[in-house]
Structure 1
């Protein structure tokens, strides 16, 4: 039967016993035999506990215990730090994100659920509770995915507005949460534009006050699949944000500009101002004379300052982002049909933030399955 390992107090007592025996004249080896240990064990004990009294031994035990507690605390802090480093970057603001993060950490580090929940601030009952969606959520997600398939560059605000138009009672936050859950990317936000000022502090932007007050027009360049270039002349009502017309041709000159504006003037009347850049098609003498003759005024922007034509530049960016960058046109006729279909969608269906998430010129509400598909 194996003997029990002596406690430190017992070792100190035996060492003191050897010292007493040696003080009485007994040889060292005989005194060691009296305490029933080997000579190697004696010297090992003496190296560790030699000259130590009872009080010193108590202090040593206290320090060892404190050292063990500190090592455990450092180990716990190191483990907590590792758990936080394995967690998702940034704040975990929702229980669902914490739930997914905790499962990920446990799969990587093999730590207890209790420990990870404590570090990441998730109650264990919340972690174990299975989320229950609403009864109509499956149908809502199906309609939402269908809209994102049709209009891939729309963010959650536009998708929510389209869903409300089709009869759903939903808010923007719910659609944003469902889009994130389904892994659908939200388009990046555009940087804010500064106000336009002259050196003397006066504002130079002519702001539209009513429909037909200020129109703006500009060119957009693109190419068909065979590499041949074509241009689009975009005409916009700045107050209503309505795209009045898009003329698509291989070449557009001053006469084409006059022809497009003439058709719109007959249908909608003459606007107060027509804003444009300083391209040769816009500042041609024929265009200037014709605009003056019909009773409108030309508002040219400063050279090299396209931001002064912000409404039309914003429309051009939406057109390129939502349509041109995602379509391959094999002929000019195909480009004309696709662009005109998109213009009607932009005017009658697509929500606009400046109009309270309503389209510029909405038509009667059309069921979603009967709306035109963007190819």
Structure 2
């Protein structure tokens, strides 16, 4: 018969210590008490130092607290390890199974975490992580279909995967369109897209520095929408020297003919500018604008993709957007016309401009015009 060492629970130890206290109170000594309890004196003193003064309920509660403390320590360690693992994966989103597998292998190799924890942090099941990839196997089950797709794309270079799917089904391949699309993409058989060349306007003059009023006008479009979601197209025209908004349109759409008609009205009232500066939009580079300009004014088109070369009108558009369009909701086209026109009137006559010495554009234009007239009179006398 084997003699196994008996382990006592905390409740049993506290009960035995209580029995020992009663025996010692009756006049017994420690040696006889230990013989009665069936433990050695070293065990008795160890119990006394560890559980002395505790009741059975207290000992049970202490055991539970020790167990909870160990659990909390383990959870804290796992949380810190998970935090360190997430920092390792902070370089980008794990968008595909391939990147998730690489992340799991990196965590296992770097942080020595378990496979279970690495898969949980990377968001991939362990079965998917352990499953071998078809590309890693020696025999690709889709090699014949890949060869057929390459030959098909070589024969029909302008056809896409959709036609390839129907022809593959017609030739007896049992496959769905999603697999054809995936293999088509893997083989790099995408149909090249012909990019449409953007037309660039032909400038008739070089844009001079706007040193006088009515020398350079800048024109540009911006868009908004009413409460029904219908588009509102806004055309603004400013004098680059005086910063004055000399004209503009608010319509659902603005054609080149509509724009030339408005420019004709402005020229009749204010005179033609030396240069009209604009971007390369279809309305500006149209034949209608070129025919209208004729001998009236020169046309200067900025380079495509360089809005900073038309900075004055871009600055005006940003103020119009910030101070008017973003704080108003238009319930109709007429409402938009009234609000935008009132804002442009306030901009010209009431809003000081820092680059004009905090004069309004209209006041600066008036002073500059008077100064130029006085200079002309003085030159005539001399």
TM-score (norm 1): 0.41
Higher gyration radius (CA): 2
TM-score (norm 2): 0.41
